[in-house]
Amino acid sequence: MQVNENFEPVIVAFCCNWCSYAGADLSGTNRLNYPANVKIIRVPCSCRVNPIFILRAFQRGADGVIICGCHPGDCHYTSGNYFTRRRITLLYSMLDFLGIERNRTRLEWVSAAEGAKFADTMNKFVEDVKKLGKNRRLEDLRCRKQ
């Protein structure tokens, strides 16, 4: 595949309010760099992310979707992220089965103290998606920005 050097992907990150969103905040206050491609959507818990949200993000022009939540065992609602883990594993596997590039999707556990991990994760994910190029397989032509 031809890699377009100037391609800037749109990344949607669903971050749980208690851990990952605070983690993102921490990486900001620590002046750590992560790409501006990442658009954060705050959710109460990672298990709030309905599979439709993920597909909808791709429809509206996202090139990659990453879900961040508390580490397993640390969920502020006790067990939310355990359900996330099963659901999202199955959904990503299904997207892969339908031939959607598997590196467009990611799930990472980022705690409120892991500002550096948040920045690292995002840097790496943006790199991976850049290699894949524009999302063509799950885009909606009607939502395309001209």
Partner 1 sequence: MQEAMIKRAKELLADGTVNRVIGWKRGEFVYDSTPAVFGTADEIDAEFVFDDFTQANVSKYLVKESKKDGKILAFLKPCDTYSFNQLVKEHRIIRENVYVIGIPGGPKLDIEKIKAKGITGILNVKNVNYTLEIETLYGTEKLPFYEAISGKCADCKSKKHVVYDELIGEDGDVLDSNRFDMVEKLENMTAQERYDFWRGELSKCIRCNACRNVCPACTCENCVFDNPKSGIENKAAADSFEENMFHIIRAFHVAGRCTDCGECSRVCPQHIPLHLLNRKFIKDINSLYGEYQAGADTTSKSPLTDYRADDCEPSIVHERGVE
Candidates 18-26, 36-44, 79-87, 118-126 — which segment interacts with partner 1 by CB under 8 A? 79-87
Q: Please check whether residue 14 is in contact with residue 65, taking contact to mean a CB–CB distance below 8 angstroms.
A: yes
- Binding of partner 1 at residue 76 (CB under 8 A)? no
Burial of 60: CB neighbours in 10 Å, binned 0-12, 13-18, 19+: middle
Query: Whose CA is closest to 17, among 82, 104, 75, 97?
Result: 75
Candidates 22-30, 36-44, 101-109, 115-123 — which segment interacts with partner 1 by CB under 8 A? 101-109
Beta bridge partners of 57: none
Q: Which is nearer to partner 1, 39 or 137 (CB)?
A: 137
Cβ-count burial 45-58 (b if 16+ within 10 Å, e if not): bbbbbeeeebbebb
Query: Whose CA is closest to 50, among 21, 14, 104, 94?
Result: 14
Among 44, 82, 113, 127, binds partner 1 (CB under 8 A): 82
Among 20, 62, 106, 119, binds partner 1 (CB under 8 A): 106
Q: Which is nearer to partner 1, 28 or 83 (CB)?
A: 83
- Binding of partner 1 at residue 137 (CB under 8 A)? yes
- Binding of partner 1 at residue 94 (CB under 8 A)? yes
- Binding of partner 1 at residue 59 (CB under 8 A)? yes
Backbone angles phi, psi at 8, to 5 degrees: -115, 110
Number of residues that bind partner 1 (CB under 8 A): 38
Question: CA 17 from chain center: how many Å?
Answer: 14
Question: Where do contacts with partner 1 occur on this chain (CB under 8 A)?
Answer: 51-52, 55, 58-59, 72-73, 79, 82-83, 85-103, 105-107, 137-142
